[in-house]
Amino acid sequence: MINPAFSWNIVDDIRTMWAYPFMVNAFRAGAVVAVVAGVMGWFMVLRRQTFAGHTLALSAFPGAAGATLIGIAASYGYFAFCTAAAAVIALATRGRAAGPGSSRVSESALTGIVQAFTLACGLLFVALYHGFLNGTTALLFGSFLGITSSQVALLAATAAAVLAILAAIGRPLLFASVDPDVAAARGVPARALSVAFLVLLGAAVAETAQITGALLVFALLVMPAAAAQRLTARPAVSLLLTVVIGFLVTWAGLTAAFYSPYPIGFWVTSFAFAVYLAAQAAPVLLRRARRPTFLAGAPA
């Protein structure tokens, strides 16, 4: 196994990493995934659908395990299971906006049951496919090794499709997310939009899971978006900020994972969480700094 040392000469480091074709692919895939996960996660956080998003993220695991069991490419399994889980959740909850105040007690329970059952299916597939145990960890926690160029091409194509559909429904979706009642009164098909959004989220998750693993997709979905929405209230700016944060965090995570013995999942979540904490602290600190300091002269 390669174990190069990290120097603070960033250009040299990047040149070292990019000498390996699999690392170039990993960076390309990471960039695609960061953009898709960031944009979809931004809407997910806005709509407060973190639980549904997390459940979709976890259903990537049985998808990959099932695909391995029946001997097809894992990508198909990811997409099949994630979009199926999205459809189940969306249809069972009938697209009611999940904002605080809406009665969703048994909706969240239903989401939880879907999650437990899909994960149990994953366990079953792993158990039926003997000798798969080492791969389980990679499926759950991700691996950036061995991403092929064709995989990157598939990722990019799906990402383009997801983003194109999102761009088409983006405006009404934003309206329906911010104020579902007024949007419904204006004739926006909130229910259909909600179903479409969840299925898109499923597709985005299926993509992301191939890099970060099923358990850590959620970090890329929720953390950059939560940080960006805390920093600014303007939709376009915070959407852009989300993508930038996700992109930086993923590339930094890849670099750190390359130069250290610790896994990419740990680095990506840690960097993203640090950004999130900074975003939480920044407005408070700024407000404190701006406060008139008429007591500044008083002895402490």
Q: Cα torsion for 291, 297, 298, 300, to the nearest 10°?
A: 80
CB atoms within 10 A of CB 105: 8
Please state the closest distance from residue 73 (CB atom) to other proteins, in A: 24
B/e letters for 107-140, b = 16+ CB within 10 Å, e = fewer, are beebbeebbeebbebbeebbeebeeeeebbeebb
At closest approach, how far in Å is the CB of 95 from other proteins?
A: 9
User: What tokens does 190 get?
Assistant: 């909130």
CB nearer to other proteins: pick between 157 and 185:
185
Distance (Å, whole) CA 270 – CA 267: 5
State the residues that interact with other proteins by CB under 8 A. Answer: 45, 48, 50-51, 54, 58, 94, 96-97, 99-113, 115-117, 119-121, 123-124, 127-128, 133-134, 136-137, 140-141, 180-181, 184, 190-191, 215-216, 218-219, 222-223, 226, 261-263, 265-270, 272-273, 276
Shortest reach from residue 275's CB to other proteins, in Å: 10
Which one, 116 or 167, has the nearer CB to other proteins?
Answer: 116
* Both tokens assigned to 268: 């990506």
What's the closest the beta carbon of residue 58 comes to other proteins, in angstroms? Answer: 7
Nearer to other proteins, 134 or 287 (CB): 134
Q: How far is the CB of 208 from other proteins (least distance, A)?
A: 13
If the CB atoms of residues 46 and 244 are measured against other proteins, the closer one turns out to be 46
CA–CA separation, 98 and 88 (whole Å): 16
Cα distance between residue 230 and residue 224, in whole Å = 10
CA 203 to chain centre: 11
Nearest approach in angstroms of CB 60 to other proteins is: 13
Q: Minimum CB separation from other proteins for residue 11, in Å? A: 28
| Alpha-carbon gap, residue 274 to 101, rounded angstroms | 30
Query: For other proteins, which is the closer residue by CB, 232 or 270?
Result: 270
Q: Which residue, 84 or 124, has its beta carbon nearer to other proteins?
A: 124
Can you tell me which residue has the tokens 């879907």?
114
Residue closer to other proteins (CB basis): 154 or 221: 221
A 10 A CB-CB count for 277 gives 12
